Structure 1
Amino acid sequence: MTPDEMPLTGRRIALPESRELDLFADMLTKRGAEVVRCPLVSIHDAPDPQPVLAWMRELIANPFDQLILLTGEGLRRMLALAARQGGSLHDEFVAALGATPKLTRGPKPGAALRKAGLRPDRVAVAPTTEGVIETLKGQNLNGLRIGVQLYGTDPNRRLVDFLTDAGASVSTVAPYIYADDVEDAQVDQLIDTLLAIDVDAIAFTSATQVRRLLQIARRREQGEPALLAALAQIKVAAVGPVVADELRARGIQVDLMPESSFFMKPLVRELVKVLG
């Protein structure tokens, strides 16, 4: 296929992705797009691994009645942490996961389970906290021990309170933290690009990216309103409902989102459909 025949030739797309930036950018450049890269946040292991290891050993020694996995990132990091410990911890953890009924919030924790040779027992009706709660409503949770792998360090009081109010005993784990990945000056450069309407689209893959971008915008002379006005003139893409809800809550329209499979490849297909 010649450059002129590529569906995104002549299009500029901003990517604030951090974890899989190269993969995402490659998928777009292969379709002819020019990619403006600006990773807004990075993810690190929990600074103190001991609480995470203690939670994993609790699962092994006394498996939960149910396990709720909110992110694939958290599960991958726990598996990697177990492997670094040496000995049999990794295999024991995988075996305990296999023996525990697992509810995943969306497709990403399911994908992480499959890489470990496992599968979720249930998937939430929607990839949100409310979707998890809706899935569990009507089930007798009284007296159950439920493990919850959190999204970053967010304690998710909505979910935990729902479980405890239903009579369950809840044990949470936070295997990773979010940290700023770039200096504010680089984020400012992205904002300048957006204000100049110098891209055709911006594709968000996490709610944290949205919050970080607006946080920096509020420090600038033009403030958040100028950025919101600029985004209204740019195609805004969301990888899934969680990101879309965050954008809408901040007053940003969502122009495109995959219909069912909330991954980067379907997001690229939507960008081609809208911009191609």
Structure 2
Amino acid sequence: MSTEDLPLRGRRIALPESRELDLFADMLTKRGSDVLRCPLVSIHDAPDSAPVLAWMQELIAQPFDQLIFLTGEGLRRMVALAERQGGSLRDDFVTALAPIPKLTRGPKPGAALRKIGLKADRVAVSPTTEGVIETLKAENLVGQRIGVQLYGTDPNLKLVVFLQQAGALVSTVSPYIYADDVEDARVDQLIDALLAAEVDAVAFTSATQVRRLFQIARRREQGDAQLLAALRRLKVAAVGPVVRDELLAYGVQVDLMPESSFFMKPLVRELVKVLS
């Protein structure tokens, strides 16, 4: 095949992706890239489903004035939980969701809503907590009951405090948790590969991956400094602004990111553009 058919031939890209690792890796290998896989985290249902079910029942019995969905994963987990309960809970939940004004942090919650026949009423001006706040700050929220589906177990105090200070009554739900997906030794192997310049790029698709990588690096002598130096020698890709901001917070320069559509396919296109 020609270079045009395999634009990433000769390149090696590290992938910390977990949930859709095979899909992401396949898109890159089809373009000629060698892939170093190291899934750093996995996602699981909340260990205690009772608070999640209680939040869903609250929404059904007394619908919120507004809903904020921070992730598509959270909505999918709630729908799946309702289905496992049997009876009419799933249909009751979706029916109750329909008329409530829904604000999504980015495109993924919107995609999850479409899968159950609904749609977002608004999308935040940018797919970050700050973007959600910017979208809402001109509104009169006094006395409004606002349901917030959180990102993992992060309480997102910045958003919750903003809403409370604006006079809203906030009810949060955490439908899933993040768990370590590989042993520390595997993460150490990834760090060794980065230090040895064995890859041309690393592509991050969640902020949790970044935190996990640095968590393990800090256990090593001069871990942070060595990891930062290694990352400066290769191309660092972020799937979107949330991941970019997490990398920047650790002092990592982000070399490429999709301009507007923050999914894996646009990320692959950016990798091809920069590395081919």
1:106 aligns with 106
Q: Deviations over 1:196-224 (max 9, x none)?
A: 01101000001111011011011112411
For residues 2-151 of structure 1, the aligned pairs below 5 Å read 5-151=5-151
SS in 2 for 1:171: strand
Distance 1:192 1:4 in 2: 32
1:260 aligns with 260
1:273 aligns with 273
SS in 2 for 1:36: strand
Distance 2:5 2:59 in 1: 53
Q: Deviations over 1:171-208 (max 9, x none)?
A: 00000011111100000000000000110100000111
The one-letter amino acid of 2:224's match is: E
Distance 2:98 2:4 in 1: 50
Distance 1:222 1:12 in 2: 25
1:236 aligns with 236
2:157 aligns with 157
1:201 aligns with 201
The one-letter amino acid of 2:111's match is: A
| CA root-mean-square deviation | 1.0
Distance 2:58 2:266 in 1: 37
TM-score by length of 1: 0.98
SS in 2 for 1:161: helix
1:2 CA displacement: 5.3
Distance 1:195 1:95 in 2: 52
SS in 2 for 1:17: coil
SS in 1 for 2:98: helix
The one-letter amino acid of 1:110's match is: G
TM-score by length of 2: 0.98
Aligned length: 276
SS in 2 for 1:42: strand
Stretches of structure 2 that go unaligned for 5 or more consecutive residues are: none
Q: Deviations over 1:121-153 (max 9, x none)?
A: 000000011100000011010010000000011
